[in-house]
């Protein structure tokens, strides 16, 4: 099947990114696997190629406009779902070491198929809940960046994500809409967890009129051992 890829390439150009034919083929293969699997399990409500390009691929990759991803670093994509932003970032920046983590094993099994089919290395899909995985020494405070497109309030999301970030590293939350109030309400939680909100990057996803924000939270000191609290607590009772 032929796809209209001009919009994708134009969007990448706006992010100062050009990709090889081989990488483009990987994106198309990922799209086809996503749509096929979506017939039997709920991975995404967005299924048209142009929409997936804009709302999943370009949205994921737009992180490159906010931080330098050209070096080697270790990234955790928490609550990765169908592999966003981790898989698009991995295709474009193959040198990155990425862990994709999700609480639903069916999604992880799908992502393992994607990793194998696209022949991606230095990327692992891991099944587990953040509240439990953040207590394991192989994950706690081990990452240069934790990124998440998960839909959760920033206070709760910070409790899930900051414990994974090493001192000096960064948690970056993908957010949409007006977020000033949410950011202000999260300041106490971020501080308690050892972090500091350093900036909010607002931008428009290339080739769209969709506004997004990246909330940059720097890890200044180790997260107290009591965090994250037991399963369900961060969402029900955010730190404030």
Tell me the C-alpha to C-alpha distance, in Å, between residue 167 and each of 42, 144, 184.
36, 8, 22
Give the pLDDT confidence score for residue 177 in this predicted structure.
Answer: 80
Residue 238 CB contacts under 8 Å (≥ 6 apart), including other chains: 153, 155, 156, 159, 189
Handedness of CA 134, 136, 140, 142 (dihedral sign): negative
Q: One digit per residue, pLDDT tens: the chain, 240 residues?
A: 678 899 999 999 999 999 999 999 999 999 999 999 999 999 999 999 999 999 999 999 999 999 999 999 999 999 999 999 999 999 999 999 999 999 999 999 999 999 999 999 999 999 999 999 999 999 999 999 999 998 889 999 999 999 999 999 999 999 998 899 999 999 999 999 999 999 999 999 998 899 999 999 999 999 999 999 998 899 899 898
For residue 167 the two structure tokens come to 């001192």
The model's pTM: 0.96
Contact present, 120 and 145 (Cβ < 8 Å): no
Give the chain's radius of gyration (CA, Å).
17
The domains found in the chain, sorted by start residue, are 6-236 (3.40.50.150)
């Amino acid at each position: 099947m032929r796809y209209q890829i001009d919009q994708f390439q134009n969007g990448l150009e706006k992010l100062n990114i050009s990709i090889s034919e081989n990488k483009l083929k990987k994106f198309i293969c990922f799209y086809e696997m996503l749509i096929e699997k979506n017939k039997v399990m709920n991975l995404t409500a967005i299924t048209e190629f142009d929409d997936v390009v804009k709302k999943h691929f370009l949205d994921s990759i737009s992180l490159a406009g906010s931080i330098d991803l050209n070096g080697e670093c270790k990234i955790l994509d928490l609550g990765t779902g169908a592999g966003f932003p981790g898989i698009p970032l991995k295709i474009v920046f193959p040198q990155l070491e990425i862990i994709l983590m999700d609480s639903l094993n069916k999604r992880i099994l799908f992502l393992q198929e994607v990793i194998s089919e696209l022949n991606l290395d230095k990327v692992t899909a891991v099944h587990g809940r953040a509240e439990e995985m953040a207590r394991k020494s192989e994950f706690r405070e081990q990452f240069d960046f934790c990124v998440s497109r998960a839909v959760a309030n920033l206070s709760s999301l910070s409790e899930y994500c900051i414990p994974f970030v090493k001192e000096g590293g960064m948690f970056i939350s993908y957010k949409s809409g007006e977020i000033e109030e949410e950011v202000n309400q999260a300041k106490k939680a971020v501080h308690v967890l050892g972090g500091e909100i350093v900036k909010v990057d607002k931008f428009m996803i290339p080739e769209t009129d969709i506004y997004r924000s990246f909330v940059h939270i720097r890890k200044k000191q180790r997260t107290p051992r009591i965090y994250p609290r037991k399963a369900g607590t961060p969402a029900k009772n955010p730190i404030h």
